[in-house]
Amino acid sequence: MLTPENLKKVEDLRKRYPTSQAALLPVLWIAQEQEGWISEDMMRFLGGLLNLPYGHILGVVTFYTMYHSKPQGKYHIEVCTNVSCMLRGSDKILETIEHHCGVKPGQNSSDGKWTVSEVECMGACGGAPMLAIGEEYHENLTPELTEKLLSSLK
Amino acid sequence: MERHILPEIPNYHVLDVYEQHGGYGALKKALTMKPEEVTDEVKKSSLRGRGGACFPTGLKWTFMPKQTTKPKYLCVNGDESEPGTFKDRKIFEVNPHALIEGTVIACYAMGITAAYIYIRGEYGKWIRMLQKALDDAYAKGYVGENILGSGFSTNIILHKGAGAYICGEESALMNSLEGQRGYPRVKPPFPAQHGVWGCPTTINNVETISNVPLIINKGWEWYSKIGATKHPGPILVGVSGHVNKPGVFEVATGELLTDLIYKYAGGVPGDKKIKAVIPGGSSTMILRGEAIEGVRMDADSLKAAGSSVGTAGMIVMDEDTNLIRVITRIAKFYYHESCGQCSPCREGTGWLWKILKRFEAGDGQSTDIDLLMDIANNIEGNTICALGDAAAWPVQSMIRRFRDEFEKRVRPVAIAS
């Protein structure tokens, strides 16, 4: 399930921790980077790799919001609507995104291009309102800038 | 004041530049001292934790057992997720080597051979910045085996979280580091006795640790004279919401909140009046705009004003703000982030949110205000960790200080004839 290169990475990772269970979060990150999401088959595979029950891995994957147990769109738009962003107009940013992508938060677009999520504070309150696409933060947004950004994504 | 944690030096994040300005000098100095002398220096400096609880850092370090057959660990908490808080991100960006240097010094002081810096998963980009700095520090022999020929060895490992506010709670952080769900643990036993992997552990905030090289370099006497006497040192304050220039500002503790808003953050757009201020992140008690006059950013002053420093993440709200929307959004956050172990928090946070949504819709009932207070009072103090308190305090303070806002949104009841 994991590529040989990624299996090598897992081996290196395990040396950083006194137990193999402790490598679970970083190993899940590797799996998700490889596949875009974490399937049941992958969880079972990782269970064999780290000697952990499937139930434990499922529990961890579903506890943390950044692990996806369903396939995601090509672009995952995460928009913060917490207080600092809300005070500076995140409603309008979310509306713009919903309109452009044709989906509500928590949904994937039918063409597989977009996943939109409403997220909690991303630690970008000084650049509110903001959204993130993958690891990239886009701050100090206006509806116009948001529209421009989304239109540039092919 | 001269900036120490976020200095105005270009490319300070680059190891060469950091070294040119005396970087890693504190580590060299610390390695010539006895470990307990290093701890003593930090203790005397009166440095208090910057992660929210303001606990004396040096005192915390003395809790670590000296004689133990088990390995000891340091966890550096960079899970920064409290709404309104975005300071640690600045340290990763501007001054990653102070964090690394402080981590090694802390390890030396406590006899620790492995430190884990736990950083929230959303900060992927910043984790890479810190990893680059760490790789450079390893290459120069500041971290790893036989550091600078002293015979002392310690490793630093960066650990990426995966999206869970609760993992900023120290015992949840340790469970997360162990590869489990981030469930807080019942205390006692305390981490210094039984921490990560059952071993003695100290957990310090990123900003706290980044203050350590400064204390060692300049000495405790110098450090303890910065800012507020009982809560000294530089502090990173995030100012967001209705201000012209939101951002992170390094000031001495004891700075006036009004100066932070008007001098540093450029005042309120349109010169509007301030209706309310959350001084230290969303869990700290909200203050009325007129009540911030003369209040300072330090533990004692904010306590006297009926709030707390928290993570020094100030959120400013102008006179047109719908505070019921604000408190409803905060309640939704804590409901979403409750780990679900303790019934008062798991159920109570959801009830708070649902009732507040009624007020948001102008559909509150006259008994709802007392009901909200009753629920909040029954969450507070009745849970394993402080998330329950964090959910209760904003609601309690909002009702106490802005009761009229709730009363305005009570649905008129037809009187039966």
Q: Where are the domains of chain A?
A: 4-63, 75-151
A148 pLDDT above the threshold of 70: yes
Q: Where are the beta strands (DSSP E) in B130-230?
A: 155-160, 201-205, 227-228
Tokens at B77, concatenated: 């908490």
* Spatial strand order in the sheet of B313-318: B247-252, B234-241, B313-318, B274-278, B287-288
Q: For chain B, how big is the Rg over CA atoms in Å?
A: 22
User: What is the domain partition of chain B in residue ranges?
Assistant: 15-225, 228-318, 323-407
The answer to whether the bond into B189 is cis (omega within 30° of 0) is yes
Tell whether A67 lies on the interface with B, counting CB pairs under 8 A: yes
Cα gap B355→B324, rounded to integer Å: 11
Homologous superfamily of the A75-151 domain (CATH) = Glutaredoxin (3.40.30.10)
CATH topology of domain B323-407: de novo design (two linked rop proteins) (1.20.1440)
CA dist., res. B84 & res. B87, Å (int): 9
Beta-strand relationship, B155-160 and B114-119: parallel
Question: What pLDDT score does B416 carry?
Answer: 65
Q: Which pLDDT belongs to residue B29?
A: 98
The 8-class DSSP code of residue B194 comes to S
Cis peptide, bond prior to residue B56, ω within 30 of zero: no
- Determine, for residues A87 and B330 on separate chains, whether the beta-carbon distance falls below 8 Å: no
- Indicate the SS3 state at residue B64: coil
Is A63–B182 a contact, with Cβ atoms under 8 angstroms apart?
yes
Res A139 pLDDT > 80: yes
The topology under which CATH files domain A4-63 is: Arc Repressor Mutant, subunit A (1.10.10)
C-alpha closest to that of B207 among B98, B307, B115, B128: B98
**Interchain pair B179, A128: CB under 8 A:** no
Question: Which residue is associated with the tokens 């309640």?
Answer: B331
Residues B108-117 have pLDDT tens digits of 999 999 999 9
Q: Answer whether B125 sits within 8 Å of A29, measured CB to CB.
A: no
SS3 of residue B287 by DSSP: strand
- As a CATH number, domain B15-225 is 3.40.50.11540
pLDDT of residue B1: 78
Q: Which of A15, A19, A49, A125 is best to mutate for the B interface (most B CBs within 10 A)?
A: A125
Query: What confidence score (pLDDT) does residue B168 get?
Result: 98
Query: Is CATH 3.40.50.2000 the right assignment for the domain spanning B228-318?
Result: no
Query: Mean pLDDT over all residues of chain B?
Result: 97
Q: How confident is the model at residue B36 (pLDDT cuts 50, 70, 90)?
A: very high
What is the reported pLDDT for B412? 80
Length of chain B: 417
Q: Mean pLDDT over all residues of chain A?
A: 97
Q: Which residue has the tokens 């008062």?
A: B344
Q: Which two tokens stand for residue B279?
A: 């001084």
Q: pLDDT tens digit string along B170-212?
A: 999 999 999 999 999 999 999 999 999 999 999 999 999 999 9
Please indicate, yes or no, whether the overall pTM of this predicted structure exceeds 0.90: yes
Which among A38, A57, A83, A141 is the top mutation candidate for probing chain B, defined by the most B β-carbons within 10 Å of its own β-carbon? Answer: A83
Give how far Cα B395 sits from Cα of B31, B295, B391, B402, Å.
48, 21, 7, 10
Classify the complex by whether its ipTM is higher than 0.90, answering yes or no: yes
